[in-house]
Amino acid sequence: MTNVVADTAAAVAEAKARIVEPRKIASGFSWPECPRWHDGALWFTDMYTSTLKTLDADGNATVVVDASGRRAGTDVPIHLGGFGWLPDGRLIVTSMREKLVLVHGGKGPDDLEVLADVSALAPAPINDMVVDAEGRAYVTQLGFDLFAGAEPVASPIIVVEPDGTVSTADEVGPLMCANGITISADGTKVFTAEVTAQRLTVIDRAADGSLSNPRPFAACPFLPDGIGLDAEGGVWAAMPGSGYVARFTEDGMTDAVPVPLENGVASACLLGGPDRTTLYMTVGVEVFDFEKSAREALGTIWVADVSVSGGETRP
């Protein structure tokens, strides 16, 4: 791990990336993930407590979605992942190990129904998700059981239509552990992090929502995880285990936020705040031991002030 940190620091120095210092704003979470900015607040999943939360300006968290009741009668862990909003305002979220996309009805934290079952298209847990303006969801998946030590394999992006119909983005083809996923403000581009390929990939998106023409956007010095897009086409990527969250363009790394590993592992990031120039970063401590992560609650949220807004990009 020390070599990873040193190698990433060397890549930051070689790129002459601008260093942006972060600050911690909240703590007490299991494995926080998938930050979103919506209705003037930060939203994120507290993965190993089966909840989705919002954070106020004072760092106080409120449970908005509680899927813990779904644990009854099953040995499948209930871990919420990527989420977004349908045009009618309802929230949808991935239940990663159930391989379901759930819709939150809003009548209470546990008001959840199944929008789509994608298990036939997913050999292993599903992951992050972004929702377009029409309510179509693009779901990424690991493609292999990371937690059982399986070898990485390529797998496709899953597309969930607003009516729950599911398919795969066959013109894109299988990707190497696609994770974080975003849509440009004009809707013509989708960006995703191919974790085990150590790269960010850009994909064309047509007016009908179909995806095609995947191609490398930027190489990363270490495994990219959650990502956020800015209004100038720069992609912020968390690189767990490297000690950095960094911004990339087609010309390379431009900015870097150091998050030393003694604070935890930065797993995801997104631009939020009133003008979307605040980079929110989720930082976890224990990803493999679900119970320990929930019990110790050492996860934190960090922010950094950046110069380029997220604009109207999604999520």
Q: Determine the average pLDDT of the residues in 200-211.
A: 98
Q: Which of 46, 66, 128, 225 is catalytic?
A: 225
Q: How far apart are CA 252 and CA 261, in angstroms?
A: 24
Alpha carbon 69 to its chain centroid, in Å, reads: 24
Residue 2 pLDDT? 61
Please list, in sequence order, all residues whose beta carbon lies within 8 angstroms of the beta carbon of residue 106, skipping any fewer than 6 positions away: 89, 90, 91
- Token digits of residue 207: 């007016």
Delineate the domains of the chain, giving CATH numbers in brackets: 2-305 (2.120.10.30)
Whose CA is closest to 6, among 205, 221, 195, 150?
A: 221
**CA trace torsion 167, 182, 86, 271 (10° rounding):** 160
For residue 278, pLDDT over 60 is answered with yes
Does residue 3 sit in helix, strand or coil?
helix
Measured CA distances, 240 to 223, 285, 287 (Å): 7, 11, 11
pLDDT band at 152 (very low <50, low <70, confident <90, very high): confident
Amino acid code (one letter) for 6: A
Write down the mean pLDDT value for the chain: 95
Q: What is the pLDDT confidence band of residue 264, given thresholds at 50, 70 and 90?
A: very high
Identify whether 225 is a catalytic site residue. Answer: yes
Mean pLDDT of 19-27: 97
At residue 1, the pLDDT reads 53
Structure tokens at 14: 């070689």
